């Protein structure tokens, strides 16, 4: 088994090389998103079942389906290639600018699930883009 297979089995799909000059063949590849992806959720870990339920409710309020959204870890945002995104939601992580995309920020989905004020603030961000 090679190192890339081990990393994949451990759930590590994006990584940084400390000394990239030593590995010219392992240059970071751009992250490709499917054309149907309209919203990118950027957070530290894939949503749990409860968090996914909350996420689907927020998407529905935005007239988006779960199929139109994808998760990406924060360290991979800088590798984002060509995309058709309308929205990027940074949940519990620092925002990175993406040109031409509506940006949302909130606490992590776990915190958001139990914080009515944070939900209200997220809703206000979403509504500001509609006006």
**Domain residue extents for the chain:** 39-130
For every residue of 31-83, DSSP letters joined together read: BP--TT--EEEE-SS---HHHHHHHHHHHHHTT--GGGEEEE-GGGGGGB-S-
CATH number for 39-130 (one of 2.40.10.10, 3.40.50.1980, 3.30.1300.10, 3.40.50.10220): it is: 3.40.50.10220
pLDDT digits (tens, 9 = 90+) for 26-44: 666 778 888 999 999 999 9
Phi, psi of 41 (to 5 degrees): -95, 115
Looking at 9-23, 52-66, 102-116, which range is the least confident one?
Answer: 9-23
Confidence label for 69 from pLDDT (cuts 50, 70 and 90): very high
pLDDT digits (tens, 9 = 90+) for 82-106: 888 999 999 999 998 888 899 999 9
């Amino acid at each position: 088994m090679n190192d890339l297979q081990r990393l994949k089995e451990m759930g590590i799909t994006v990584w940084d090389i400390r000394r990239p000059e030593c590995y010219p063949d392992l240059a970071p590849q751009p992250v490709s998103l499917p054309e149907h992806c309209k919203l990118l959720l950027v957070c530290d870990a894939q949503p749990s079942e409860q968090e996914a339920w909350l996420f689907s409710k927020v998407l529905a309020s935005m007239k988006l389906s779960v199929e139109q959204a994808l998760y990406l870890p924060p360290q991979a945002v800088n590798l984002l290639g060509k995309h058709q995104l309308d929205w990027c939601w940074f949940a519990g992580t620092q925002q990175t600018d993406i040109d031409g995309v509506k940006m949302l920020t909130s606490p992590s989905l776990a915190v958001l699930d139990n914080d009515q004020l944070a939900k209200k603030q997220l809703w206000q961000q979403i509504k500001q883009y509609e006006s």
